[in-house]
Amino acid sequence: MEILRYDLVILGSGLAGLRAGIQAALTSKGKIRIAVLSKIHAMRSHSVAAEGGIAGVLYPEVTGDSFDAHAYDTIKGSDFLADQDAVELFVKLAPEELRFLDHLGVPWSRTPDGRIAQRLFGGMSIPRTAFAADKTGFFIMSTLYDNILRFDNVDIYHDHMATSFLMENGVFKGFTVLDLKEGTLKVFLAKAAIIASGGAARIYGFTTVSYAVTGDGAAMAYRAGIPVKDMEFIQFHPTGVVPAGVLITEAARGEGGYLINKDGERFMARYAPQRMEVAPRDIVARAIIREIMEGRGFIHEESGLGYVYLDLRHLGEEKINTRLPFIRELAKKLVNVDPVYEPIPVRPTAHYTMGGIHTDTYGHVMFDAKNYVPNLWAAGEAAAVSIHGANRLGSNSLAECSVYGRLTGEAAAKYALEASSSMLELSSSLEEAVKREEKRIFDELFKTETNAEDPYQIRGELWRTMDTYVYVFRDEKGLMEAGRIIRDLKNKYKRIRVDDRSRKYNMNLREAIELGNMLDVAEIVIVSALARTESRGAHYRLDYPKRDDVNWLKHTLAYYTPEGPRLDYIPVRITRWKPEERKY
Amino acid sequence: MSEKTSGAVSKLQLSTPEISPKTVSKLITLKVKRYDPDAGRYKLSIYRISVTRFDTVLDALLKVVRDQDHTLSVRYSCRMGICGSCAMMINGVPRLACMTNAISLGDVIEIEPLKNFPPVKDLFVDMDQMFRKHRSVKPWLIRRDEEEQFTAKKEYLQKPEEVDAYRLFSTCIKCGACMAACPTVASNPDFLGPMVLAQAYRWSADSRDEGAHIRFDIVDNPNGVFGCHFAGACSAVCPKNSDPALAIQLLRKSILRGKR
């Protein structure tokens, strides 16, 4: 058993993880050893797929924008479930982050005089979304990855997948990690750690996210006794290309694109007469499904999926080529549609996990309303601070990753600088935990039983269940059925078989481990959604169609028990903006 | 907006594409040359698989993994041509499997691991050496005053035409397709290769950067920019049309003209 010791271990190499690594390296001035773990190649994390942009108040003196305006838009967008102190901190730091990223070399789209260009995004009252064409996430990721290579005290571990948290007496000790290339289990011990492992939207089949976005961080934290917050709030991006589910950026509408139904109507006039296509995502997603449901959509012949059209033709070829070149490339290659000449078939697609590991305003992980895990932080989509509440505004996620990567990187580095190296000892009880994990992976998952279950069948069933019952519209009956199916799948999972017996790059084994994480997360989503008998943001209950501030202006915390998630609730922190009706 | 209760959830929601009974499909043959790390050699697996009109080569491989052979290891992630995971030899050409339509390739598709990289298992190759070479050319924004760089008070102004000087080369996804196509990489493992040289140029051509002379010293040798024979294969196969061959030409020109 190889044991590696680091002052700071960062789980995940997306935008939040790499930004945290850079900040920790700067804050510690090279005095601490930092490891960044990625279960894939570090530069390939799913932040690369973010398209439209990153929000921040850059030029208030020119645009009339303000921190208060960004905060209010975010809070209203969240359907008043965001913690307002966190939002206020976030909007103040966001422009600093945009400038920091500029100083690392992001190839922004620019105004003629050389400033960073900004575009309109859903739910934002003013164009405040900085962008680099329509591959903003890719360009920021690429820039962060290239720049983290400058630090000699940062080690990047590609193809290293954490399988469990090691905890002792309420303190985080490290991870068990599967080295996928060699097929061996390693132990990473850390004085401090940051969970930046991304979201969980791969619990759905029709989704924008990569196959790697399997909620590993949330599932491992949950099993280690750390609560995950607000998991019922899954964002469905209005425009996933049919049939692949791949993202067509909101910037397509921000730049002026129309949503059109079968009758050629811009149907958003019925749902958000003022903001039309650039209303927040929860509202546009519901409008599209409503149109399809009421017979005003199209039906995709091969997949049977209902859809509407995203029409960019009136933008013209030049604008599409300069502002939305990737969308043109994707539409041509994936569905043989050139958006210069034809509209793109789209429908809502699972996109983002508003919920995540429970933290305080600064990304510090907590057990409940009061008690901290002293040496553990979480950042980006893996965390629920909560900036986004019940519905995230487009382009706030990249900003959150950067802001919270910085904040947690700085805090964790300071903690690690002060911490004693006795923290890096492996006690006998931890050694036992490591042995149990080794047994779970190499004995239990590999063992062959008669009637063993096929993990890919289970995954297919999981996807169908989530796509059907836990989608844009939900009700008690459907959620009960989903819960029953998931519990059945979890039982089947105990008897799964891994056919590939080889050690090196055993994708079958990796996907079996990911499936266990997805099933845990899916169960949390369903149980949390069933309990919340109201409609707020992305969580819409047909049987409870109104927001209920009296009973539900609170965050859900889900705790692990062997019988399934136990729910608890904590209040929303409200500073200056009282909940009001949401109109667009 | 009014969103009244109407209809059961199960009626509103539609299923995932993969289970639709309406799917129109065609049978094709996948010939996969895969590396067996235990035996230390390649073997051939042949699969018959049905694909629909929009299925990519990656979709076809994942159907094989799901329905026929759980042991086939494929590196993949975003399936939208931006993460760079799934570059492989498809009918002899390095391409991204997720951006290559399957049906249009005909009845038989031959797949191999990416060339010029050490094989590890099946279609997985080892990219560590490429990543080390990449790091060796200092692919980050170099400023004389690092203190100022990391405490950004204002952005560096950059005119659109200044962005145009390097924008093309910043679209590289590090998938390795160009390295697999390069005849010089094939014959000289120490040659930095098109991906790495293009990135050396990308950062040096950025008006915010002050480190071109440092990178030029690193690549000004036969394993660097002067190892390139301008076969142009790199640009021909680049899935992002990032044109590494042009970057190498511009890099060489900058060095020869002593523009440091």
Write down which residue in B125, B148, B175 finishes a domain.
Answer: B125
B134 and B37 together in one domain = no
What residues contact residue A494 under an 8 Å CB cut-off, 6+ apart? none
B68: contact with A, CB 8 A cutoff: no
Residues B16, A467: C-beta atoms closer than 8 Å = yes
Across the range B164-179, mean pLDDT stands at 98
The answer to whether residue B51 sits within a structural domain is yes
Q: Which of residues 28-67 of B touch A (CB under 8 A)?
A: 37-38, 52-54, 56, 65-67
The CATH number of whichever domain residue B144 belongs to comes to: 1.10.1060.10
Contacts for A21-24: CB closer than 8 Å, 24+ residues apart = A21/A148, A21/A151, A21/A154, A21/A409, A22/A104, A22/A144, A22/A147, A22/A148, A22/A151, A22/A405, A22/A409, A23/A405, A23/A406, A23/A409, A23/A410, A23/A413, A24/A194, A24/A409, A24/A410, A24/A412, A24/A413, A24/A416
Q: Cα separation of A87 and A388, whole Å? A: 8
Q: Say what the pTM is.
A: 0.96
**Contacts of A29 by beta carbon, 8 Å cutoff, 6+ apart:** none
Name every chain A residue with its beta carbon within 8 A of the beta carbon of B67.
456
One domain, residues B141 and B251: yes
Q: Count other C-beta atoms under 10 Å from residue A260's C-beta.
A: 19
Residue B169 confidence class, pLDDT cut points 50, 70, 90: very high
Contact at CB, A303 and B22, closer than 8 angstroms: yes
Among B71, B80, B150, whose Cβ lies nearest the Cβ of A500?
Answer: B71
Cβ-Cβ contacts under 8 Å between A and B: the total is: 262
Give me the residue spans of the domains in chain A: 2-48+134-233+352-421, 235-348, 428-561
Give the separation between CA B56 and CA B79, rounded to whole angstroms: 9
CB contacts, 8 Å: A350 with chain B: none
What pLDDT does B201 receive?
98
In chain A, what residues touch B54 (CB-CB under 8 Å)? 243-244, 302, 334-336
Sign of CA dihedral A191, A196, A202, A203: positive
Residues of chain A with pLDDT > 90: what percent?
A: 97
**What's the angle, vertex CA A435, arms to CA A431 and CA A436, rounded to 5?**
115
pLDDT of residue A256 exceeding 80, the answer is yes
> Cβ–Cβ of B54/A289 closer than 8 Å?
no
As a whole number, mean pLDDT of residues A168-190 equals 97
Which residues, at least 6 apart from A141, have a Cβ–Cβ distance to it below 8 Å?
A14, A15, A18, A43, A45, A47, A48
Asked if the C-beta of B104 comes within 8 angstroms of chain A's C-beta atoms, the answer is: no
Q: Do B80 and A329 touch (CB under 8 A)?
A: no
List the structure tokens of A461.
């069933």
The residues of A carrying an active-site annotation are 237, 253
CB contact under 8 A, A505 and B73: yes
Contact B22 A304 (CB under 8 A): yes
Instruction: Verify whether the Cβ–Cβ distance A287 to B1 is below 8 Å.
Output: yes
Confirm whether B12 is domain-assigned. no
* CA max distance for chain A: 70
Mean pLDDT, rounded, for A539-545: 98
Residues of B in contact with A336 (CB under 8 A): 54
Dihedral sign for Cα B162, B165, B166, B168, please. Answer: positive
Between chains, do B66 and A456 touch, taking CB under 8 Å as contact? Answer: yes
Helix (H) or strand (E) holding A365: strand A364-366
Q: Say whether pLDDT at B21 is over 90.
A: no
Find out whether A20 and A406 touch, Cβ atoms under 8 Å.
yes
What are the counts of helices (DSSP H) followed by strands (DSSP E) for chain A?
17, 23
- Distance separating alpha carbons of residues A430 and A425, to the nearest angstrom: 9
Mean pLDDT lowest among A55-64, A344-353, A493-502 = A493-502
* CB B53 within 8 Å of CB B24: yes
Measured CA to CA, the distance from residue A173 to residue A155 in angstroms comes to 19
- Give yes or no: residues B60 and B167 share one domain: no
Contacts of B248 (CB under 8 A, 6+ apart): B194, B197, B198, B201, B225, B228, B230
Is B154 found in the same domain as B42? Answer: no
Structure confidence at residue B17 (pLDDT)? 38
Residue B207 CB partners (closer than 8 Å, separation 6+): B156, B158, B162, B165
Spatial distance between the Cα atoms of A287 and A303, rounded to a whole number of angstroms? 21
B9 lies in some domain: no
pLDDT of residue A407: 98
Strand partners, A380: none
Q: Which residue of B has its CA nearest to A157?
A: B128
CATH 1.20.58.100 fits A428-561, yes or no: yes
Within the 176-235 window of chain B, which residues sit less than 8 Å (CB to CB) from chain A? 199, 203, 206, 208-209
Report the gap between the CA of A148 and the closest CA in chain B (Å).
Answer: 8
Of B9, B52, B81, the CB nearest to A542: B9
B71 domain residue, yes or no = yes
CA torsion through residues A6, A7, A11, A13, sign: negative
Given this model, what pLDDT does residue B222 score? Answer: 96
The SS3 call for residue A106 is coil
CATH class for domain A235-348?
A: alpha beta
A505, A509, A539, A542: which to substitute to probe chain B, counting the most B Cβ within 10 Å? A505
ipTM over 0.85: yes
Residue of A nearest to B158 (CA): A114
pLDDT for B23 beyond 60:
no
Residue A465 CA to residue A548 CA, distance in Å, equals: 27
A302 contacts B99? CB cut-off 8 A: no
Q: Are residues B244 and B203 in the same domain?
A: yes
Q: Is B208–A475 a contact, with Cβ atoms under 8 angstroms apart?
A: no
Q: Which helix (H) or strand (E) holds B218?
A: helix B212-219
Among partner residues B4, B9, B18, which is closest to A545 by beta-carbon distance?
Answer: B4
CATH label of the domain that carries residue B24: 3.10.20.30
B13 and A468 in contact by Cβ < 8 A?
A: yes
- Indicate yes or no: CB of B77 within 8 angstroms of CB of A211: yes
Q: List the alpha helices (DSSP H) in A301-425.
A: 317-323, 325-335, 396-418
Tell me the backbone φ, ψ of residue B246, rounded to 5 degrees: -65, -40
- Evaluate whether A346 touches A309 at the Cβ level (below 8 Å): yes
- Written as one letter, the residue type at B51 is V
CB B57 within 8 A of CB B105: yes
CA distance A329 to chain B (A): 10
Take residue A39 and report the two structure tokens written for it: 């279960």
The verdict on B71 and B168 lying in the same domain is no
CA distance A219 to A159: 19
How many other C-beta atoms lie within 10 A of the C-beta of residue A566?
12
State which residue of chain B sits closest to A149, comparing Cα positions: B135
SS3 B54: coil
Provide CB contacts within 8 A for B151, sequence distance 6+. Answer: none
Q: pLDDT (tens digit, 9 = 90+) per residue, A55-67?
A: 999 999 999 999 9
**B173 neighbourhood in chain A, CB within 8 Å:** 48, 138, 142
Contact B43, B36 (CB under 8 A): yes
Say yes or no to pLDDT of B10 above 70: no
- State percent of chain B over pLDDT 70: 90
Identify the band that residue B1 occupies on the pLDDT scale cut at 50, 70 and 90.
very low
Beta bridge partners of A171: A168
Q: Which of A99, A456, A464 sits opposite B70 (nearest CB)?
A: A456
CA torsion sign for A123, A129, A134, A136 is negative
Question: Residue A521 above 90 pLDDT?
Answer: yes
Please report the pLDDT score of residue B259 as a whole number: 56
Considering only CB atoms, which chain A residues are within 8 Å of B175?
A: none
Decide if pLDDT at B5 tops 60. Answer: no
The answer on pLDDT for B15 being more than 50 is no
What backbone torsions phi and psi does residue A310 show, to the nearest 5 degrees?
-105, 115
Are both B84 and B178 inside the same structural domain?
A: no
- Distance CA(A66)–CA(A165), nearest Å, equals 41
Q: Is the peptide bond before A243 cis (omega within 30 degrees of 0)?
A: yes
Strand-pair partners of A571? A554
Q: Which residues form the domain of B229?
A: 128-256
- Backbone φ and ψ of A59, nearest 5°: -130, 65
Please indicate, yes or no, whether residues B219 and B144 belong to a single structural domain of this protein: yes
Q: How far apart are the first and last CA of chain A?
A: 57
pLDDT at B16: 37
Q: Which residues of B touch A291 (CB under 8 A)?
A: none
Identify the residue whose tokens are 């903006």. Answer: A577
Nearest by CB: B1 against A112, A283, A305: A283
Which of A110, A283, A292 is the best mutation test for B, with the most CBs of B within 10 A? A110
Q: What's the pLDDT at A451?
A: 80
| Interchain contact B14–A (C-beta under 8 A) | yes
Q: What is the mean pLDDT of residues B62-68?
A: 97
For A127-159, the DSSP string reads --EE-STT-HHHHHHHHHHHHHTT-TTEEEETT
Q: Is the dihedral of CA A220, A221, A227, A232 positive or negative?
A: negative
Cβ atoms of B191 and B185 closer than 8 Å: yes
Which of B107, B125, B143 delimits the end of a domain?
A: B125
Domain boundary at B125, B141, B157, which?
A: B125
In a domain, B70, yes or no: yes
C-alpha span between A183 and A192 (Å, rounded): 26
Q: First CA to last CA across chain B, in angstroms? A: 61
Does the A2-48+134-233+352-421 domain belong in CATH 3.50.50.60?
yes
Encode pLDDT of B69-98 as tens digits. 999 999 999 999 999 999 999 999 999 999
The mean predicted confidence, pLDDT, of chain A is 97
**Omega cis (within 30) before A386:** yes
Q: Supply the DSSP symbol for B56.
A: B
And the tokens for A443? 């004995």
Cβ-nearest to B155 among A102, A135, A302: A102
CB pair distance less than 8 Å for B53 and A330: no
Q: What is the pLDDT, as a whole number, of residue B105?
A: 94
Distance separating alpha carbons of residues A567 and B14, to the nearest angstrom: 30
B145 located within any domain: yes
Claim to verify: residue B247 and residue B141 sit in the same structural domain? yes
Question: Judged by CB atoms within 8 Å, which residues 124-143 of B form the interface with A?
Answer: 124, 126-128, 131, 134-135, 138-141, 143
Instruction: Report CB contact under 8 Å: A146, B199.
Output: yes
Chain A residues with beta carbon closer than 8 angstroms to that of B166: 107
Question: B201, B219 in Cβ contact below 8 A?
Answer: no
The total number of structural domains in chain B stands at: 2
Please list every residue in chain A whose beta carbon sits closer than 8 Å to the beta carbon of residue B149: 103
Please tell me the distance from the alpha carbon of residue B239 to that of residue A580, in angstroms, as a whole number: 49
List the single best residue of A23, A161, A289, A303 to mutate versus B (max B Cβ within 10 A): A303
At A447, is the pLDDT very low, low, confident or very high (cuts 50, 70, 90)? confident
Distance from CA of B82 to the nearest CA of A (A): 6
Q: Across the interface, do B14 and A304 touch by the CB < 8 Å criterion? A: yes
- Rounded CA-CA distance A514/A522 in Å is 12
The answer to whether the CB atoms of B13 and A336 lie below 8 A apart is no
In this structure, are B115 and B135 located in the same domain? no
- Whether residues A211 and B79 touch (CB distance < 8 A) is answered with yes
Same domain? B52 vs B155:
no
Which of B2, B10, B11, B12 is the best residue to mutate to test the A interface, defined by the most A CB atoms within 10 Å of its own CB? B12
